[in-house]
Amino acid sequence: MNKPLRNSILSLVLLSIFIISCQSNQDKPDLTEKLVSDKKESTVNAEEEEIKAIVERLLIAAGNYNIEDLDDMTSDKAMLGISSFKDGTWSNSEITIDEYFDNVKNREPKPYCELVSDYNIIVTEGRLALVRADAILYRFGIPQTREINNFTLLKENGKWKFLNISFTVNRIAEEKKKFDLDIFARSYAQAWGSKKPEFVASYFAEDGSLQVNDGDPAKGRNAISEVAQGFMIDLPDMIVRYDSLVPKSNGTKFHWTLIATNSGPAGTGKKVKVSGFELWQIGENGLIKESKGSFPSEEYNRQLEFGIDN
């Protein structure tokens, strides 16, 4: 090969390498920007999921009128603002969180379940969060009001605290107040974590009954409250998770999972996680007429003593 031709080929090779290198370098900023964007999006999503979980915990505590949990989640200077529409007129009220706690202590509240259908969340520098949560409030499976909640949260010592809780209240039209068994079941499960045994009993008809495994049925709300109280004393942090409803020819099976710590009097401090079901007969008033509960008592007792990891 003559020298001029060899030099021409070498020049072409070097030019090709240069062009490829330039294209590669041009692509790198796009790739870097994408990685940074993905990281930001992942962080934002994680923050939003954290905020959603906190809001849902607040709504459960509010529905259970659990002052201890609410006090832990709210700032000492927190305010509540309520704008309610009734008889064609809007009325407003503003109270402090301490005033709200006093109101709860001085009355006999009924449990409720508030389910959010849509969220809008803005988080600033991981320190301030503004939340809009569009929700429906249910009592015993029947929708009562549409409440659009607006929350302001600030992070204090690494923990989110509610600084402001404000919401509008619109009553659901009577013709739309339809009983929903699925939401009834969710509400019932929530009541088991309320630390208020009378809340559990309120889901039963006045002459309703609750049987646990092969034990004698507890008949009437007072007796049912005593059964619930026994579990609540042994498992103060109890959460009952609603798993599913299964229609049967002889009723409806409500499947649940109990998660708790055996930290009551003489408790072992061991973790407990056990699943079971209740076979329900629902009365004409939309409350439980009869419930026959079943869960693995032998495994439950083992976990009370040794925990779920052994």
Which whole number is the average pLDDT over 2-24?
A: 52
How many domains would you assign to the chain? 2
> Pick from 160, 176, 192: which residue ends a domain?
176
- Check whether residue 68 and residue 149 sit in a common domain: yes
- Check whether residue 145 and residue 244 sit in a common domain: no
Alpha helices by DSSP H, listed for the chain, are: 3-63, 67-73, 97-105, 181-192, 197-201, 221-234, 297-306
Over pLDDT 90: what percentage of the chain? 81
Query: Is residue 1 in a domain?
Result: no
Query: Is pLDDT of 159 > 80?
Result: yes
- Check whether residue 68 and residue 153 sit in a common domain: yes
Query: Is pLDDT of 188 > 70?
Result: yes
Query: Is pLDDT of 292 > 50?
Result: yes
Q: How confident is the model at residue 16 (pLDDT cuts 50, 70, 90)?
A: low
Query: Is pLDDT of 9 > 80?
Result: no
- Check whether residue 241 and residue 155 sit in a common domain: no
| pLDDT given for residue 13 in this prediction | 46
Q: Is 263 exposed, middle or buried (0-12, 13-18, 19+ CB in 10 A)?
A: middle
Query: Is residue 129 in a domain?
Result: yes
Q: How confident is the model at residue 14 (pLDDT cuts 50, 70, 90)?
A: very low
Q: How confident is the model at residue 86 (pLDDT cuts 50, 70, 90)?
A: confident
Query: Is residue 253 in a domain?
Result: yes
Query: Is pLDDT of 29 > 70?
Result: no
What mean pLDDT value characterizes the chain?
Answer: 90
Calculate ∠ Cα 258-262-265, nearest 5°.
Answer: 135
Gap between the Cα atoms of 141 and 252, Å rounded: 15
CA 253 to chain centre: 22
| pLDDT given for residue 108 in this prediction | 87
- Check whether residue 148 and residue 62 sit in a common domain: yes
- HSE toward the beta carbon, residue 167, CA cutoff 13 A: 20
Q: What is the pLDDT of residues 234-249, one digit of tens each?
A: 999 999 999 999 999 9
Gap between the Cα atoms of 70 and 30, Å rounded: 46
- Check whether residue 188 and residue 269 sit in a common domain: yes
Gap between the Cα atoms of 154 and 74, Å rounded: 10
Over pLDDT 70: what percentage of the chain? 85
**Token couple for 207:** 């002459």
| pLDDT given for residue 145 in this prediction | 97
Q: How confident is the model at residue 304 (pLDDT cuts 50, 70, 90)?
A: very high
Query: Is residue 56 in a domain?
Result: yes
Highest mean pLDDT among 2-6, 18-22, 249-253: 249-253
- Check whether residue 206 and residue 294 sit in a common domain: yes
| pLDDT given for residue 310 in this prediction | 55
- Check whether residue 95 and residue 195 sit in a common domain: no
| pLDDT given for residue 295 in this prediction | 97
> Pick from 161, 176, 191: which residue ends a domain?
176
Kindly report the CATH number assigned to the domain that includes residue 273: 3.10.450.50
> Pick from 116, 144, 176: which residue ends a domain?
176
Q: Which has more confidence, 4 or 132?
A: 132
**Residue that has been written with the tokens 């949260």 in this structure:** 153
Query: Is pLDDT of 31 > 70?
Result: no
Q: Residue 97: which domain range?
A: 45-176
Query: Is residue 19 in a domain?
Result: no
Query: Is residue 22 in a domain?
Result: no
**262: helix, strand or coil:** coil
Query: Is pLDDT of 229 > 70?
Result: yes
- Check whether residue 166 and residue 189 sit in a common domain: no
- Check whether residue 148 and residue 238 sit in a common domain: no
| pLDDT given for residue 44 in this prediction | 58
| pLDDT given for residue 25 in this prediction | 55
Query: Is residue 211 in a domain?
Result: yes
- Check whether residue 229 and residue 168 sit in a common domain: no
- Check whether residue 122 and residue 189 sit in a common domain: no
Query: Is residue 65 in a domain?
Result: yes
Q: What is the pLDDT of residues 32-59, one digit of tens each?
A: 565 555 554 555 589 999 999 999 999 9
